[in-house]
Amino acid sequence: MNKKNLAVVMSAVTVIGSAAPVFAAAEDSFPNGNTTVSSSKYSDIERILKKYVADGVTGITVNFFDKKGNPKGVSISSLEASQISYVKDEIKDLKAGEYAKISVKITDGTEKKYDDTLLKELDSNAVVTKVGTATTVKIVDQDGNSIENDAKLKLQKYDTTMSAYVDGATKDEVLAATKAAVKTSKFTDKTGNNATGTVAITATYADAVAGAIKLKYDTQAAVAPTLDTAVASLDGTKEIYDFSKPVITVNTTDGTSKLSFEKTGEKVGAVESNVTVIAASDETVTISGDAKEKAEALAKKYVFKDTELEDAYKTVTASDFEKTDNDYYEVVLYPTGKRLNTAS
């Protein structure tokens, strides 16, 4: 995008040419979600952190990183009042390319569970398709610990020439057998007083054919996994599964194994702020339709991504976008760097 186009796109827009948003003096908390701010706001950051600590918030972590993204300085896992001055000073002294990450967890939230919309998405054998995208399969014990390198664990495959299972199956072969094992997933609408419908999933490992596998632990009998009953029937009481991440759990006591899938870990009701602080200064430029030279000057100074400029234009032209108290539209842009020269 050239400078003339930039001037048009940014007409009537207040541009903050660095990290943002700027914290207002009245604010006593970070915005929920992910935010990037300038290190020049160290005083505001200090004020907000003091308020959190005074209110008894304990889930505050602070980490500093160098230009290569490697940790530097002191890593703080639970911020205390006595550490806030250190954090402020470190943020104030950030050099170009260095940054800090502040995470504030107010409410952890609860695990997200299935609703009818999510369950219906698993109808018509959609689970089979999702499992088909898996790139690996985890093998763990009943405590969730990996046993893939446990010498007592033997992966077996069916040898058609010997008509028997033999040691030496690979994880890729176990994965292939797992993908083939998952047969169906079908949604049934809710009945009676049920809160949601249900999804029935079936999975059966092949036996005594090419590609069939079994798992043997220590002196226990070699057996093929069976589908975990917790996964076989899904409803509104179940947490969300990622069917592209299969997990086989081996009971090291009796040798049986169950096929399940990793949970996504999604939560609802969580209140968490993640603030990235970068070494930058804020520059506010007011641009109006009769002062396009300001946009051109900005274009000569900074390099912006076309997509960000387009998003800015969409933002200020949206019907529900409100003006600031100064009767301007305000958006935030993140330049990728300063220009090496100012030639047109």
Give the whole-angstrom CA distance, residue 85 versus residue 83: 6
Distances in Å between the Cα of 85 and the Cα atoms of 23, 88, 94, 164 are 19, 5, 14, 69
Q: What is the pLDDT of residue 303?
A: 66
In the numeric block, the tokens 């054919």 are attached to 209
For the chain, which residues make up each domain, given as ranges?
Answer: 1-16+283-344, 19-109+269-282, 116-267
pLDDT for position 97: 86
Between CA 212 and CA 215 the distance in angstroms is: 11
Under CATH, which architecture does the 19-109+269-282 domain have?
A: 2-Layer Sandwich (3.30)
- pLDDT band at residue 1, thresholds of 50, 70 and 90? very low
234 forms bridges with which residues in the sheet? Answer: 199
DSSP H helix total and E strand total for the chain: 9, 22
Please give the structure tokens belonging to residue 5: 């186009």
Long-range pairs for 68-74 at CB < 8 Å and ≥24 separation?
Answer: 72/98
DSSP helix/strand/coil, 145: coil
User: Considering only 33-37, 64-68, 251-255, 333-337, which range has the smallest mean pLDDT?
Assistant: 333-337
Q: What is the pLDDT of residue 4?
A: 42
Q: What is the pLDDT, as a whole number, of residue 182?
A: 99
pLDDT of residue 8: 41
- Cis previous bond, 335, omega within 30: no
Longest dimension (CA), the chain: 86
Tens of pLDDT, residue by residue over 304-334, are 667 766 766 676 666 665 655 556 655 666 6
CB 38 within 8 A of CB 21: no
Contact 54, 100 (CB under 8 A): no
pLDDT in tens, 7-29: 444 443 433 333 334 455 557 88
Q: What is the mean pLDDT of the chain?
A: 85
